[in-house]
Amino acid sequence: MPLLIRRPSDIRPSEITSPEHFSRRRELIAALGLGLGAAGLALPRHALAAPAPAGVSPPTGFPPVARAAPGSPWFSDEAQTPKSAITSYGNFYEYGVDKADPGKYAPGLLKTRPWTVAVEGEVLKPRTFAIDDLLKLAPLEERIYRLRCVEGWSMVVPWVGYSLSALINKVEPTGNAKFIEFVTLADPAQMPGVRSPLLDWPYVEGLRLDEARHPLTLLGLGLYGEALPAQNGAPVRIVVPWKYGFKSVKSIVKIRFLREQPTSTWTRAAPSEYGFYSNVNPAVDHPRWSQKTERRLGEWRRRPTLPFNGYADQVASLYAGMDLKKNF
Ligand code: MTE
């Protein structure tokens, strides 16, 4: 299957970063003398020689999952992207900028037990959840969602999790909470990429509270009926299917409820290229490439990109009256 072959129309890692950031990356690679070539982030040598996964607790006893069946709001009859492709082609800059890096390095380095997620800020009941509490907080559901990366590739993933609103309701946001921020782990021992100044670590992303409460917004704990693979953001991530993939933040350790809009990592890196909303929108091109079409992993022909990634009937009302060209 031609899944991993780069097509000329794909956006290269050098292109998702702004030219300024990309040159910082090249300087860093040169400074460290790693000679990784244009496609590799400056990973320390020990990471490049990462041992086979050992001591990284493979989750056992994953709870039962209610499968999405025809008639369920989470069902889709679109062809699902094979698990082998979902786990070997992705973005997780904490492990490198090449699409294959997360699958190569994260499974051997990321320790997913013990793991906690601290929930704080404008809430009446701040709380730190252990991952096993999160697995039990609500029944696990299969959610078959499209994921559209800002770079122009896409896939269909049978995620496992439940609406983030289940967690939000437990902590009871105050009337002041208007936004929510998600923070990824940034441990250089487990994530060698965070030693590079490519991005401001930790990776953070944010949503408006009503977006976070929308039933489609998923607290992701697995895919294909099993625990999340390390490279896909184990043990817990967010999935917001109507937004570009970079809003779907991986391996989260903190959730903050805020009065003011947070600045996301990619917005900080290149504000004119990656806005806070980042709703999938074929009518607003990226300044350096078109967003009108996308390539589904496993397919050769590009297909049209749909407004809100095909979820407009469910989410467009969240943006009523807003100019989505300005609020990109
Ligand atoms: N989360 C963190 N912490 N670091 C990242 O580099 N990349 C984002 C998003 N979440 C990223 C992240 C981008 S650009 C995309 S397209 C999706 O993860 C990819 O998710 P996948 O690798 O599971 O397909």
Q: Using DSSP, state whether 48 is helix, strand or coil.
A: helix
| C-beta of 151 in contact with ligand 1 (< 6 A) | no
Q: Which atom of ligand 1 is nearest to the CA of 232?
A: 23
Residue nearest to atom 10 of ligand 1 (CA): 249
| C-beta of 92 in contact with ligand 1 (< 6 A) | yes
| C-beta of 196 in contact with ligand 1 (< 6 A) | no
Q: Candidates 25, 250, 274: which one to mutate for ligand 1, based on the most atoms within 8 Å of Cβ?
A: 250
Inside any domain, residue 325: no
Inside any domain, residue 328: no
Full pLDDT tens readout for the chain, 328 residues: 333 334 444 566 556 665 555 555 544 343 333 333 333 323 333 333 333 333 344 456 799 999 999 999 999 999 999 999 999 999 999 999 999 999 999 999 999 999 999 999 999 999 999 999 999 999 999 999 999 999 999 999 999 999 999 999 999 999 999 999 999 999 999 999 999 999 999 999 999 999 999 999 999 999 999 999 999 999 999 999 999 999 999 999 999 999 999 999 999 999 999 999 999 999 999 999 999 999 999 999 999 999 999 999 999 999 999 999 999 9
Inside any domain, residue 56: yes
The string over 294-327, giving b where at least 16 C-beta atoms fall within 10 Å of a residue's C-beta and e elsewhere, is bbbbbbeebeebbbbbbbeeebeebbeeeebeee
Inside any domain, residue 170: yes
Tokens representing 295?
A: 């390539």
Alpha-carbon span 236 to 177, nearest angstrom: 23
Q: Whole-model pTM?
A: 0.87
CATH code, 151: 3.90.420.10
pLDDT in tens, 244-283: 999 999 999 999 999 999 999 999 999 999 999 999 999 9
Alpha-carbon span 64 to 200, nearest angstrom: 37
Report CA(198)–ligand 1 centroid distance (Å): 15
Inside any domain, residue 275: yes
Report CA(101)–ligand 1 centroid distance (Å): 12
Residue nearest to atom 4 of ligand 1 (CA): 92
| C-beta of 248 in contact with ligand 1 (< 6 A) | yes
Domains: count for the chain: 1
Inside any domain, residue 324: no
Widest CA span of the chain, in angstroms?
56
Q: Candidates 10, 92, 153: which one to mutate for ligand 1, based on the most atoms within 8 Å of Cβ?
A: 92
Structural domain boundaries enclosing 37 = 8-319
CB-based contact 256:263 (threshold 8 Å): no
Closest CA to 113 of 133, 87, 140, 97: 133
Closest CA to 250 of 279, 224, 220: 220
Alpha-carbon span 15 to 11, nearest angstrom: 6
Inside any domain, residue 121: yes
Write the DSSP assignment of 131-195 as a string of letters. Answer: HHHHHHSS-EEEEEEEEE-TTSEEEEEEEEEEEHHHHHHHH-B-TT--EEEEEE---TTT-GGGG
Evaluated on CA atoms 267, 271, 276, 279, the torsion sign reads negative
Report CA(124)–ligand 1 centroid distance (Å): 31
Inside any domain, residue 326: no
| C-beta of 211 in contact with ligand 1 (< 6 A) | no
